[in-house]
Amino acid sequence: MSTHVCIARLREFVQELAALLQRHPTEPEILEQGSALLGRLVAYDDWLPEAYARPHPERYQQYLLHADAMGRFSVVSFVWGPGQSTPIHDHTVWGLIGMLRGAEIAQHYARTPEGGWAPEGAATRLLPGHVEAVSPRIGDVHRVSNALADKTSVSIHVYGANIGAVERSVYLEDGTRKPFVSGYSSTELPNLWDLSAERNAVLRVVSAKA
Ligand SMILES: [Fe+2]
């Protein structure tokens, strides 16, 4: 399968999510239908270019794969080196996490009566193909870790905004809050929009028949 055919999976996801949001769905509809779309994307591990799956020895990476021109969503590959994890953090917008490669542990947190944060429920172990959702409505504060001590893990995150421009918060368990904007690990994006290889393949078939 050529690179163009593989990256088509991401292009189709972006197009289908944009079409879904164009219909002005409610948040539950976005989470349900968006999860199905993301589940289809992460059902295959043949489309993410290697440059967007590279770990860093010290910190997890967040590569922007696509930002919607209207600011309605962004798609980011999270690349976890062995043992790496996020701090406890929020998103302030809806988010979907689709597991692509390896394994990830997601732990939700809830406010304690004393104003701190404590783990809520059991941690979830995400495996390739699994999709999880977060939002201020259903639970927005969590901590995510690479479940593997000796391998890189990769997950595809989709947010209801350009997440690299959203002011959000990191928390300590004692309730201390620190504002942050997550930003991106790369200045370049994959090219989803070069359709020439597919078009030329069609032309070759047509001219061969002529
Ligand atoms: Fe998160």
Mean predicted lDDT score pLDDT of the chain: 94
Ligand 1 centroid distance, CA of 95 (Å): 8
Better pLDDT: 208 or 94: 94
Least confident range from 107-116, 177-186, 198-207: namely 198-207
What is the separation of C-alpha 35 from the centre of its chain, rounded to a whole number of angstroms? 11
Q: 66 near 117, Cβ under 8 Å?
A: no
Confidence of residue 168 (pLDDT cuts 50, 70, 90): very high
Report which of 40, 46, 140 is spatially closest to residue 90, judged by C-alpha positions.
140
Q: What is the pLDDT of residue 1?
A: 44
The pTM assigned to this predicted structure is 0.93
Per DSSP, the three-state class of 75 is strand
Instruction: For residue 14, report the distance from its CA to the centre of ligand 1, in Å.
Output: 20
**Ligand 1 centroid – CA 89 distance (Å):** 6
If you measure from the C-alpha of residue 206 to the centroid of ligand 1, how many angstroms do you get, rounded to a whole number? 48
Note the pLDDT tens digit of each residue in 60-87: 999 999 999 999 999 999 999 999 999 9
At residue 197, the pLDDT reads 80
The secondary structure element, H or E, covering residue 37 is: helix 27-41
Range 108-137 average pLDDT: 96
